[in-house]
A and B are shown apart, each in its own frame.
Chain A
Amino acid sequence: MFNLLFLFFAVFTVGCAAAVVCLRNAVNAAMCLLLCLAGVAGLFISLDAFLLAFLLILVYAGAVVALFLFIIMLLDIQGQAALGRRGWGTVAGLGAAALLLVGWAGIAFRGRAALPATAGPHPFDATLQIYSDLLFTTYLLPVEIIGFLLLIAMLGVIALSQRGPAPKPPTAATE
């Protein structure tokens, strides 16, 4: 039963990811990204990471995908061609993806002994308290840095989204 659920979520996630990459319409791609993230959240639950599954849905599916959809509708790019000419980029992409998978296969079939095959019972009850203990003792400095990063990102977005001067036509001097 559990293996069946795992198989379902695995196939669902990878299928939706393939749809994100292949679909021509950006809105459909964003919707498939949403489904793919839901699948990853299911995989997180199968790994006993309940809090992370919740956060993934909340942050990614709730905020990030909604932001993507807003921007897609704001820009209204439906009139433009979804795919341009695809030459060496396709070859390079396929080659790089195949290389990544070959690397995984090398680990899976040559170095199988190096990885723990089965997980024991979870040593922690993955409650919020354990996470917060780690976040506010061992990882306090990274938390502060991340908070600062969020502040800087917010300021950057405000600065970027202010309407700048109109684009100047190129003159002969600058060409």
Chain B
Amino acid sequence: MIAPSLHAYVAISAALFALGFFGVLVRRNTLVIFMSLELMLVAATLALVAFSRYNGTLDGDVFVFFILTVAAAEVAVGLAIIVALFRQRRTIQVDRLDALKN
């Protein structure tokens, strides 16, 4: 029952990835940077599922399992690091975390 072409899915994936990348570079709040990273991971996931569907295999789908697991682990560790950082510095704005700058 599949009607749109693969290009449509790849376009959505590219748009999501570009938005996530833009967010990582532009935003100053570490938590929002982390959400943008999640957007990029989801974009890669969508591309994998679309390619594997249009090529008639399931390997891309299985790879998505691994991406989901790694993303969950990454979020847990990253948020723990953010909380530890907040305890030490009382801020999570990246332009104030400049202890290594000079």
Contacts and interface: CB of A to CB of B under 8 A. Distances in A.
8 contacts: A44-B49, A47-B53, A64-B38, A80-B93, A108-B7, A115-B54, A120-B56, A122-B53
A169 interface: no
A106 B45 CA distance: 21
A10 interface: yes
A115 B6 contact: yes
A21 B83 contact: no
A28 to B, nearest CB: 10
A90 to B, nearest CB: 5
A56 B16 CA distance: 16
B26 A93 contact: yes
Contact of A160 (B4, B56, B81): B81
Secondary structure of the A contact surface, majority rule: helix
A29 B32 contact: yes
Interface in B1-26: 1-12, 14-26
Contacts of B71: 59-60, 64
Interface of B: 1-12, 14-29, 31-32, 34-36, 38-39, 42, 45-46, 49-50, 53-56, 58-59, 61-62, 64-66, 68-77, 79-84, 86-88, 91-93, 95
Given A48-B53, A107-B10, A72 B4 contact: no
State the main secondary structure of chain B at its contact with A. helix
B15 A52 contact: no
Contact of A43 (B9, B22, B24, B87): B9
Contact of B62 (A71, A74, A77, A134): A134
A171 interface: no
Interface string A61-103: 0011001100110110100111111100110111011101101
B22 A108 contact: no
A20 B54 contact: no
A10 B64 contact: no
B49 A21 contact: no
Given A59-B68, A82-B28, A134-B59, 5 more contacts: A3-B4, A17-B20, A43-B9, A83-B27, A149-B69
